[in-house]
Amino acid sequence: MFKETYKYWMDRANYPEKIISKVVVKTEEQKAELEGFDVTVVKENGYTYGIYQITKNLELEDTDIILLPTDDTYCPNRWDKYLYKKFTNWDGALYLEDGQNDINRELDNTLTMPLLFMVMACMTFKCLKQLNKCIFSPHYYHFFSDVEALHNLYDLGLIKDDRKIDNKLFHHKHYYEGLRKKDASDESHYGNPWYHDHDMLYERMKLPVEERLRTITNE
């Protein structure tokens, strides 16, 4: 699935030669299937921890753009050219429309339902450093970390939301939309991880943003 999705993104990129890709998987067997990619194996502690193992070691130019898609997200044509243009006069994060959030809802730093979340993180490296090089906190196993991430950026004044203006869809084709079949990996995320992450969100959101960022890495 990753290889098919990666090709989809590269085929639609305007400047593929400028893109550096880093991949996180769970097993050595998965890594062996991805010869030619820069792959890190993170076997434990869930999705958010795996992402942090990549971001914590990044050293880039402050203006470099970081994009974090999953293997079930899909891009519009010339998506990279669009991002370059959006960051020409913006040094922070961009709230991308993924087809799941209510585009008519404004982020107001509350936790009223339905929750707003940021499935696909997109930001400058300078912005990542302001998040202590951690986008989705490893306090969470899989769920709700994107809710905290969006609120952290909002509290810092670092999120730009042009979804209504741009009409660009970076579609998250999740199984609960009926856009793909539910698999064993999906099943493994539910149950105790969901309840743990739900409770973690409401505990951490009691903290001021400064304390959330000080403790974001769970180290």
Q: How confident is the model over 48-88, as pLDDT tens digits?
A: 999 999 999 999 999 999 999 998 999 999 999 999 999 99
Q: Could you tell me if residue 190 is left (phi over 0), alpha (psi between -120 and 50 degrees) or otherwise beta?
A: beta
Q: Of 53, 70, 60, nearest to 2 (Cα)?
A: 70
Model pLDDT, residue 103: 81
Which CATH architecture best describes the domain 2-214?
Alpha-Beta Complex (3.90)
Percentage, residues of the chain above pLDDT 90: 75
Q: What is the 3-state secondary structure (H, E, C) of 90-143?
A: CCCEECCECCCCCCCCCCCCCCCCCCCCCCCEEEEHHHHHHCCCCCCCCCCCCC
Give the model's confidence band at 185: pLDDT under 50 very low, under 70 low, under 90 confident, else very high.
low
Q: Are 76 and 82 in contact (CB under 8 A)?
A: yes
pLDDT digits (tens, 9 = 90+) for 101-111: 788 888 887 88
Model pLDDT, residue 65: 98
pTM: 0.91
Give the model's confidence band at 40: pLDDT under 50 very low, under 70 low, under 90 confident, else very high.
very high
